[in-house]
Each structure stands twice: as structure tokens, then as C-alpha cells.
């Protein structure tokens, strides 16, 4: 199937008709539909599909045990996410293999297509959970207990979907089979449009992390509780939102409070608790740590000033990633030989490629996003650019797997 045909089938899966955004959360019915779309098309290409112990799905071309060239991305989404984030890399991987098969390419080395699970951390709060488990940077027992907003643990969600959570854990055997990983991804930003480039190559990923802030006060009546008597967690939360923006702007970092849950949630009452998530990213780890510490101390001061308690819990942290330079130069050379001058770009977005980069040579291709918007239904890529991405990926895979 061509990219356009694959895309047409994938597009409606997990999309909310009201918002036009995607709600493809791990181990849900939408996730199962996405997995079966991947399996169906990989098998139609003659690939052998198997899950690994961490719920990632792999499709293999070639039966050699070692030296595999891997590509792929994820199909889970943020709440009301765009259609391309992750999905473009998976559909492009299938379309690139189709191209190579049609061309009669005989791969010397095995090719592996992967669909990573829970890349966004939208359900179980730890982004890149599938690749983190695989590389052993997340403890499997801790992972099994991760609990989403619906109160369901990862272990229970996996069991309900027919996967075995007891098998979660580092996968040295699988990692040992992989020589290189190349992830194609939609651009998340607007650097490529002015460069007139459809395809770019990643330089590295900013260090980033996610912190949960629990402000606890006392529920009270909106019409009778005097201000002086209140212990209102919404106030230090609001101060923290503003402090985060100020601290990040001052240090060239980014800080976002994009999710908040106020309990018990009555419009005519003071909240008893406000749970919020801080996402913080910066060009280097010192700036990230300093910015996060400043925000946390502003949050603590504001909480104390309002008689509210504050607990901060770091849910995830990803150090600075620099992708393999030799691999990047090789990819740039392959694309240049085919007439494509691919710019090299840094990104503040996290990716499974960034996790695998600590273990094997890893690279990323970006496909231009004319809106620059991502994690939103406004995310875009033209069909022509997606096809340019597939051609680029096929060239790279052919070069690496020959
Ligand atoms: C993933 O998209 C992230 O950067 O949060
Ligand atoms: Mn994303
Ligand atoms: Mn992504």
C-alpha cells in the first residue's frame, strides 16, 4: 500500500469527532485498533510481527538474529493530539518497506519496524515508557503500579488488553539485536518552512522533565468562608503558573503547566486540593535544573503564604540527548546524493529515539510541519512532504541495511 492508502485507513482511528483531535491512549480500544492496523499491514508486507516483553510491537524483515536496522515511532497520542506525531513515523516505516520491496531490494541485515507503547505518557504519566522499560531506566515493578487518572494501573490495563505485565523489564536480548535506530517524526516547530526543506535531520533533544505538584488546602464555602479563614490551594497554583513563565523566560527555557485537576471541583466552593503538572525543558541540564528549582521554590513560598501544603514528585527526567554524529553525517550524505539538502535541527520534544540513543547509534528525520503546531489538531504535514519523508527514509534504510 502507498503512504496515502495506509494513512487513509489510520486517520479515523482514535479521533474524536467533536474536536478532531486524537485520543489514542495506551492499552485502550483505540490503541488496539492502531496495533491491529500496524500488524495487518506489516504482515501484508511479509514481515513477522511480535510484541516484546514491554508491549512494544516489532515487525521483522529478514531472519538474521543480529545487526538489525530499526525504524518506527509510536501511535499513542496526547489528549486531543495531532494526527502526525508518532503516526507519521510508523506509517512512513511501512510505506518505506513497501517501496524497498517493490524495488526488489534484498536486505543484507534484518530490518525491524517498531511501534513503541506509551511514548506520550498521556495515560501512565511516564513518557517513552516502552523504550525506557526496554533499556532498563524504569523499574518494572514501579511501572506496573503506575496509575492513570481513571485509577487503573498499567498492570491492570495491560492484562485487560491481553498483555502480560509480569514480563515487563529490561530487554538486553532485543537491544543486542539492534545496530541502529532511525525515527522519522513530524517537525514540532516551524524551523523548516523558512529553509524551504521538506526533510530535516535531528541534532539532539533538550533535557526535559515532568513534575507533579500536589497543593493541599481545605474545602470551604465560596459564599461564606472569609478570605482570612481560607486555605485555598488554587492561589499558590496560580502563582506557580506565573512564576514558571517568568523563570523560564529569564533563562531561555520552556515551562508549561498544561494539566490541572482541582478537587472536589465545585464551582461554588474552595478546592481541597489542586494537582498540577509542570513540564520543563531547557537547552542544557544546568539551565533545566536551575529553572525547575526556581519554580519549585516559588511554589513552596506561595503555598506557605496561603496555609497550603505542597508535595512535589518528579515523574520523569530525560537528560540531554546528542544523536550519533557519524550516523547523522552518513544520512545527510545519502540524502544529499539524492538531491536533498536536509538541515540539521535541535528539538525540545522527547522521542523514543532519545531513549535508545544511550544504547545504540540513533538518528531522526523530521518532516516539515507548515503550522509548526504540535500536540494539537492544528498539527499538519502536506501529503507531498510526507511522501518526501517516505522516500528519504527508504533511502536511509536501503543504505544502512544493504
Ligand atoms: C513528547 O512529545 C514530548 O516531548 O512530550
Ligand atoms: Mn508528542
Ligand atoms: Mn512523538
Place of cell 538486553: 172
Check residue 168 and give its pLDDT. 98
- Ligand 3 centre and the CA of 338: distance in Å? 27
Encode pLDDT of 287-300 as tens digits. 999 999 999 999 99
Which residue puts its alpha carbon closest to atom 1 of ligand 1? Answer: 350
Q: How far apart are CA 207 and CA 202, in angstroms?
A: 14
Which among 328, 72, 85, 278 is positioned nearest to 188, based on CA atoms?
85
Q: Is the pLDDT of residue 249 over 80?
A: yes
Tell me which residue of 203, 211, 248, 251 sits closest to 349, measured CA to CA. 203
CA 349 to ligand 3 center in whole angstroms? 8
Q: Say yes or no: CB of residue 202 within 6 Å of ligand 1.
A: no
Asked whether 349 lines ligand 1 (CB < 6 A), one says yes
Per residue in 143-164, pLDDT (tens digit) is 999 999 999 999 999 999 999 9
Ligand 1, atom nearest to 348 Cα: 4
pLDDT at 63: 82
209 touches ligand 1 (CB under 6 Å): no
Q: What is the pLDDT of residue 58?
A: 98
**C-beta of 350 in contact with ligand 1 (< 6 A):** yes
CB of 118 within 6 A of ligand 1: the answer is no
The per-residue DSSP string of 213-260 comes to: EEEE---EETTT--GGG---THHHHHHHHHHHHHHHHHHT-EEEEEEE
* Closest atom, ligand 1, to C-alpha of 188: 2
- Using a 6 Å cutoff on CB, does residue 120 contact ligand 1? yes
Mutate which of 117, 118, 127 to test ligand 1's pocket (most atoms within 8 Å of Cβ)?
127
- Mean pLDDT, range 328-341, rounded to an integer: 97
Contact 16, 113 (CB under 8 A): no
- 87-103 vs 383-401: helix crossing angle, rounded to 10: 60
Rounded Cα distance, 206 and 37, in Å: 32
pLDDT at 389: 98
Inter-residue contact 73 to 89 (CB < 8 Å): yes
Q: 128 CB less than 6 Å from ligand 1?
A: no
Q: Is the CB of 354 under 6 A from ligand 1?
A: no
Measured between alpha carbons, how far is 138 from 128 in angstroms, rounded to an integer? Answer: 10
Predicted local confidence at residue 64, as pLDDT:
76
DSSP 287-356: HHHHHHHHHHHHHHHHHHHTT-EEEEEEEEEE--EE--HHHHHHHHHHHHHTT--PPEEEESS--HHHHH
Helices (H) and strands (E) in the chain, counts: 12, 15
Q: Classify residue 120 by its DSSP letter.
A: S
Query: In terms of Cα–Cα distance, which of 1, 30, 179 is closest to 91?
Result: 1
Q: What angle do CA 90, 92, 95 make, to 5 degrees?
A: 115
* pTM for the model: 0.96
Question: What integer is the mean pLDDT of 252-257?
Answer: 98
CA–CA dist 10, 15 (Å, integer): 10
* Confidence check: pLDDT of 317 > 80: yes
Q: State the distance from the centre of ligand 1 to the C-alpha of 208, rounded, in angstroms.
A: 9
Q: What is the mean pLDDT of the chain?
A: 97
Kindly state the average pLDDT of the residues 169-180.
97
Query: Would the pLDDT of 65 be above 90?
Result: no
Amino acid at each position: 500500500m502507498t503512504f496515502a492508502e495506509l494513512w487513509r485507513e489510520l486517520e479515523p482511528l482514535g479521533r474524536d469527532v467533536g474536536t478532531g483531535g486524537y485520543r489514542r491512549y495506551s492499552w485502550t480500544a483505540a490503541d488496539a485498533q492502531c496495533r491491529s492496523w500496524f500488524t495487518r499491514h506489516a504482515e501484508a508486507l511479509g514481515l513477522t510481527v511480535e510484541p516484546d516483553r514491554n508491549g512494544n510491537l516489532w515487525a521483522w524483515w529478514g531472519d538474521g538474529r543480529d545487526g538489525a536496522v530499526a525504524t518506527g515511532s509510536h501511535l499513542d497520542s496526547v489528549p486531543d493530539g495531532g494526527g502526525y506525531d508518532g503516526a507519521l513515523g510508523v506509517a512512513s516505516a511501512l510505506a518505506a518497506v513497501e517501496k524497498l520491496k517493490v524495488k526488489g531490494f534484498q536486505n543484507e541485515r534484518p530490518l525491524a519496524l517498531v511501534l513503541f507503547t506509551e511514548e506520550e505518557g498521556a495515560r501512565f504519566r511516564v513518557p517513552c515508557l516502552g523504550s525506557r522499560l526496554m533499556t532498563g531506566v524504569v523499574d518494572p515493578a514501579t511501572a506496573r503500579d503506575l496509575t492513570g487518572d481513571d485509577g487503573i494501573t498499567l498492570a491492570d490495563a495491560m492484562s485487560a488488553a491481553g498483555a502480560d505485565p509480569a514480563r515487563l523489564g529490561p530487554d538486553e536480548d532485543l537491544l543486542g539485536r539492534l545496530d541502529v535506530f532511525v525515527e522519522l517524526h513530524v517537525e514540532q516547530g516551524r524551523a523548516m518552512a523558512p529553509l524551504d526543506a521538506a526533510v530535516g535531520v535531528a541534532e539532539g533533544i533538550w533535557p526535559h522533565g515532568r513534575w507533579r505538584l500536589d497543593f493541599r488546602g481545605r474545602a470551604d464555602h465560596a459564599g461564606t468562608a472569609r478570605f482570612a479563614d481560607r486555605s485555598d490551594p488554587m492561589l499558590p497554583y496560580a502563582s506557580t503558573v506565573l512564576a514558571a513563565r517568568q523563570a523560564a523566560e529569564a533563562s531561555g527555557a520552556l515551562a508549561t503547566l498544561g494539566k490541572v485537576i482541582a478537587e472536589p471541583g465545585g464551582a461554588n466552593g474552595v478546592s481541597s486540593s489542586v494537582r498540577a503538572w509542570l513540564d520543563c525543558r531547557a537547552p542544557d541540564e544546568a539551565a533545566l535544573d536551575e529553572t525547575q528549582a526556581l519554580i519549585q521554590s516559588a511554589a513552596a513560598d506561595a503555598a506557605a503564604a496561603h496555609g497550603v501544603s505542597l508535595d512535589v514528585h518528579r515523574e520523569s527526567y530525560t537528560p540531554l540527548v546528542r544523536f550519533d554524529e557519524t550516523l547523522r553525517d552518513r544520512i545527510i550524505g545519502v540524502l544529499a546524493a539524492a538531491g536533498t539538502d536536509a538541515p540539521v535541527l535541535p528539538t525540545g520534544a522527547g522521542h523514543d529515539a532519545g531513549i535508545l540513543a544511550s544504547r545504540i547509534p540513533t538518528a531522526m528525520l523530521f518532516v516539515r510541519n507548515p503550522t509548526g503546531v504540535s500536540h494539537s489538531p492544528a498539527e499538519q504535514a502536506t501529503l507531498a512532504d510526507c511522501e518526501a519523508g517516505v522516500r528519504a527514509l527508504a533511502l536511509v534504510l536501503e543504505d544502512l541495511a544493504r
